[in-house]
Amino acid sequence: MSGENRIAQAMTPVARFLALVAGYALLLLTLTITAEVLLRRFANVSLQGGDELGGYTLAITGAFGFSLAAIERAHTRVEILTERVNPGVGSVLNLLATLGTMLMALFMAWRGWAALMESIEFKSLSGTPLMTPLWMPQSLWVFGLAVFAVVSTALFLHAAILFLRDRDRLNRFYGPKSLDDLIHEEQAGVTARGAQ
């Protein structure tokens, strides 16, 4: 995973917990959709609000998963350029990638917070039969975005320090995963599953 990257290791438990919560929420959503389909087909009954709750679930689980994806270097990167440049240029590109991630995370958390405050101020309700107070799902969504902003900021600051001190470690910790990294992760996963 993050190897000897102590910053990533320190943040992994919270990020992993949020990702686990997101996974269970998606499982629950899947079961709800299955029940909705079966009830409509065989009993001509509908679970009201399933699609609305599904939308909230997807937004929240996405926000909850961003942090672990940043730690695990799983966000999509265009590697065609970084594979062809020398390590010095690669370290600049990797630093810029962490900066871009941090700026986007901060922007999303800021705009999410603004949307939440507006929903609270105007007592906004969803325009559906459930009439859900929007602050409820938005609070969880903003929490996930805030955690992502904190994680991405810490990762950027660490990358900036490594840029000044040790660019090889910067490339190893924050560059795109190499084929060797992927093979090592898969072997570790196989070993862990075998030990169970």
Q: What range defines the domain where residue 77 resides?
A: 6-195
Q: What is the pLDDT of residues 11-24, one digit of tens each?
A: 999 999 999 999 99
pLDDT band at 2 (very low <50, low <70, confident <90, very high): very low
Which residues have C-beta within 8 Å of that of residue 48, sequence separation ≥ 6?
129, 130
**pLDDT at res. 1:** 43
- At what angle are helices 87-121 and 50-71 packed, to 10 degrees? 150
Least confident of 34-43, 69-78, 133-142: 69-78
Quickly tell me which residue has 């969504």 as its tokens.
141
With a cut of 80, say whether residue 67 has pLDDT above it: yes
pLDDT band at 3 (very low <50, low <70, confident <90, very high): low
**pLDDT at res. 31:** 95
CB half-sphere exposure, 36, CA atoms < 13 A: 15
**Number of domains into which the chain is organized:** 1
Task: With H, G, I as helix, E, B as strand and everything else as coil, classify residue 133.
Answer: strand
> Is 42 within the bounds of a domain?
yes
pLDDT (mean) for 86-92: 93
Backbone angles phi, psi at 125, to 5 degrees: -120, 155
- CA 144 to centroid of chain Cα atoms: 8
> Is 1 within the bounds of a domain?
no
